[in-house]
């Protein structure tokens, strides 16, 4: 039983870490996309 509890705790930490990693990756990609869109929309003079 103790092993299962420890595994669940570690699993929850891993899931939160994975979520944070995915969020940071998506955030950086969104920022890059935002910059590309702004660059393309800005008049090229």
Q: What tens digit of pLDDT does each residue of 31-45 get? A: 888 888 888 877 665
Report the percentage of the chain scoring pLDDT > 90.
Answer: 16
Give backbone dihedrals phi and psi of 42, rounded to 5 degrees, phi first.
-70, 140
What's the confidence (pLDDT) of residue 24? 92
Question: Would you state the pLDDT for residue 43?
Answer: 66
The predicted structure's pLDDT at residue 13: 84
Compute the residue count for the chain. Answer: 45
Distance CA 41, CA 36 (A): 9
Over residues 21-37, the mean pLDDT reads 89
């Amino acid at each position: 039983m103790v092993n299962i509890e420890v595994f669940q705790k570690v699993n929850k930490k891993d899931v939160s870490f994975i979520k944070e990693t995915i969020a940071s990756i998506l955030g950086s990609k969104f920022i890059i996309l935002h910059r590309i869109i702004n660059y393309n929309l800005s008049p090229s003079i």
